Amino acid sequence: MSDNPLAKFREAVMAAAFQSVPGEQYNYARRELLERDGTGALVYELMLPEREDWATWRDRTLPLMLKYFRSQGIDPEYPTAAVVAVFYGSRCFFVEGTKFIELLRELEGLNASAWRFRVLRWLSA
């Protein structure tokens, strides 16, 4: 694994994805996922850049995602009813919401209490 935090996160996301599709097949794959799932999971889309500072990307992207989860009635700390569709390059990687959060926590070295504090800080900003 790379020493670059964004590259590490990108590699972890790709490894954790339960499905990966070419970007142009995203809408079809999303529809299929929601029809198969039948639970009405929320799919949140985000892009991972090739090059960017980890903290800059994290602080620009993740608060918006967590605020959106909360606005949709999904627990932003443990988004069990969400799937994160991560676009990187020409592919889209589908990751369960709780797994996505677990990857973030691991990369940042945050236990449950520290993660809760971070979420509350982002939600109040």
At 41 the pLDDT is: 85
Residue-level pLDDT, tens digit, the chain, 125 residues:
568 899 999 999 999 999 999 999 999 999 999 888 676 789 999 999 988 999 999 999 999 999 999 999 999 999 999 999 999 999 999 999 999 999 999 999 999 999 999 999 999 98
| Contacts of residue 45, Cβ cutoff 8 Å, sequence gap at least 6 | 84, 85, 87
At 39 the pLDDT is: 66
At 36 the pLDDT is: 84
How many Å apart are CA 19 and CA 29, to the nearest integer? 9
Helix, strand, coil fractions of the chain, as percent rounded to 5: 55, 20, 25
Q: Give yes or no for a contact between 54 and 9, defined as CB atoms under 8 angstroms apart.
A: yes
Q: Give yes or no for a contact between 51 and 41, defined as CB atoms under 8 angstroms apart.
A: no
Number of neighbouring beta carbons within 10 Å of residue 87: 14
Helix axes 54-71, 112-124, angle to 10 degrees: 80
